Amino acid sequence: MRAWLVALAMMLGFCTSAAAQEQRNRFWLQNSTDTPIVSAFVSPSVISDWGPDILGAGVLNPGQRVWVIPNTLDCRIDVRVTYQGGREERRMGVNACQITSLTFGGGAPGASVNGGKVGRTAAGGNPSFNLINQTGTTIREVYVSLTSQTAWGPDRLGANTLEPGGSLWIGLPQGRVCTVDMRVVFMNGAAQERRGVETCSRVDVGFR
| pLDDT tens for the 208 residues of the chain, in order | 555 544 545 555 545 444 444 457 888 898 888 889 999 999 998 888 898 999 988 899 888 888 898 888 888 888 999 999 998 888 888 888 878 888 887 544 444 443 333 434 333 478 888 888 899 999 999 999 999 999 998 998 888 888 888 888 888 887 789 999 999 999 999 999 999 999 988 888 999 9
Distance CA 29, CA 32 (A): 10
Q: All domains of the chain, ordered by start, with CATH?
A: 1-118 (2.60.40), 123-208 (2.60.40.2890)
CA distances from 142 to 3, 75, 132, 185, 186 (A): 53, 22, 11, 7, 9
Q: DSSP 3-state assignment of 138?
A: coil
pTM equals: 0.50
